[in-house]
């Protein structure tokens, strides 16, 4: 149990376009999901907390208008990178908080490359 | 506020040798502590977690960690390294009321034949 999927696993896009990444909890309901960004050889940086049915909470320094998060159901959160630029190229990882609230289950990540 | 420090960004051991990855934390509330492993271009896999039960925690793949409050440490060990243990390891801390994880900088484990 506790499987989280992400789609797509990798995406290449042109500068100026928008890209949507999906995060799904496959076998449990998650009222809270998290989005992380990871640069090569670095740790995970929390971008935002996604709460079902309400606005996401963004970490300091993360542009909410650039990284749009929607958590429309208990099993799906989406991250849309708007007007992508090459510096947005990164590995994006989502996680879903367990129903007990003391463990996160991670997705496999999405590699975004902006040309 | 919470923070995690992993001592040693890169650790190299011989196959069969003891693995010791160090993690120290700072937390103003009783912490939950985690160790994750990440293989290239993959997500994170939970190795083990401490959530205020037994201080010696056994995880998957022969790993274990001991919570030492007096030392604010949660070091990860494995008696005998395998080649397949070569990966990136992250220590993380969270509090019970938010679920948010704060990650350490990560330690790359290299296993030499």
CB of A60 within 8 Å of a chain B CB? The answer is no
pLDDT grade for B42, boundaries at 50, 70 and 90 = confident
Q: What is the DSSP string of B9-70?
A: SEEEEETTS-EEEEEEEE-SSPPEEEEEEE-TT--EEEEEEESSS-SEEE-GGG-EEEEETT
CB of B31 within 8 Å of a chain A CB? The answer is no
pLDDT for residue B28: 82
Mean pLDDT of A33-53: 92
Contact state of B106 with A43 under an 8 Å Cβ cutoff: yes
Given a cut of 70, whether residue A18 has pLDDT beyond it is yes
- The share of chain A scoring above pLDDT 70, in percent, equals 99
Give tens-digit pLDDT for B54-75.
899 999 999 999 999 999 999 9
The 3-state DSSP class for residue A88 equals helix
Q: Which residues pair with B26 in a beta bridge?
A: B3
* Residues of chain B positioned with their CB less than 8 A from the CB of A102: 32, 49, 51, 94, 96, 99
pLDDT for residue B46: 93
pLDDT grade for A101, boundaries at 50, 70 and 90 = confident
Which of B32, B42, B104 lies nearest to residue A102, judging by beta carbons? B32
Give tens-digit pLDDT for A72-98.
899 999 999 999 999 999 999 999 998
Q: How many CB pairs under 8 A join A and B?
A: 51
Which of A42, A95, A102 lies nearest to residue B96, judging by beta carbons? A102
pLDDT grade for B51, boundaries at 50, 70 and 90 = confident
Classify the phi-psi angles of B73: left when phi > 0, otherwise alpha if psi is within -120 to 50, otherwise beta. beta
């Amino acid at each position: 149990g506790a499987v989280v999927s992400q789609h797509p696993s990798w995406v290449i896009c042109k500068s100026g376009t928008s890209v949507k990444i999906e995060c799904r909890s496959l076998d449990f309901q998650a009222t809270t999901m998290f989005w992380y960004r990871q640069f090569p050889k670095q740790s995970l940086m929390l971008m935002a907390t996604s709460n079902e049915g309400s606005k996401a909470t963004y970490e300091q320094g993360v542009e909410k208008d650039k990284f749009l998060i929607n958590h429309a159901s208990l099993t799906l959160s989406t991250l849309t990178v708007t007007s992508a630029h090459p510096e947005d190229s990164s590995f994006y990882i989502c996680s879903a908080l367990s129903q007990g609230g003391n463990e996160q289950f991670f997705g496999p990540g999405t590699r975004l490359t902006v040309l | 506020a919470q923070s995690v420090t992993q001592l040693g960004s890169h650790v190299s051991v011989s196959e069969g040798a003891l693995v010791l990855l160090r993690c120290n934390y700072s937390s103003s509330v009783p912490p939950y502590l985690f160790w994750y492993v990440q293989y290239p271009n993959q997500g994170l896999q939970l190795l083990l977690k401490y959530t205020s039960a037994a201080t010696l925690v056994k995880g998957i793949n022969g790993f274990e960690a001991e919570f030492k409050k007096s030392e604010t440490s949660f070091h990860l060990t494995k008696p005998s390294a395998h080649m397949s243990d070569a990966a990136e390891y992250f220590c993380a801390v969270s509090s019970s009321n938010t679920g948010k994880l704060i990650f350490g900088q990560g330690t790359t484990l290299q296993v030499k034949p």
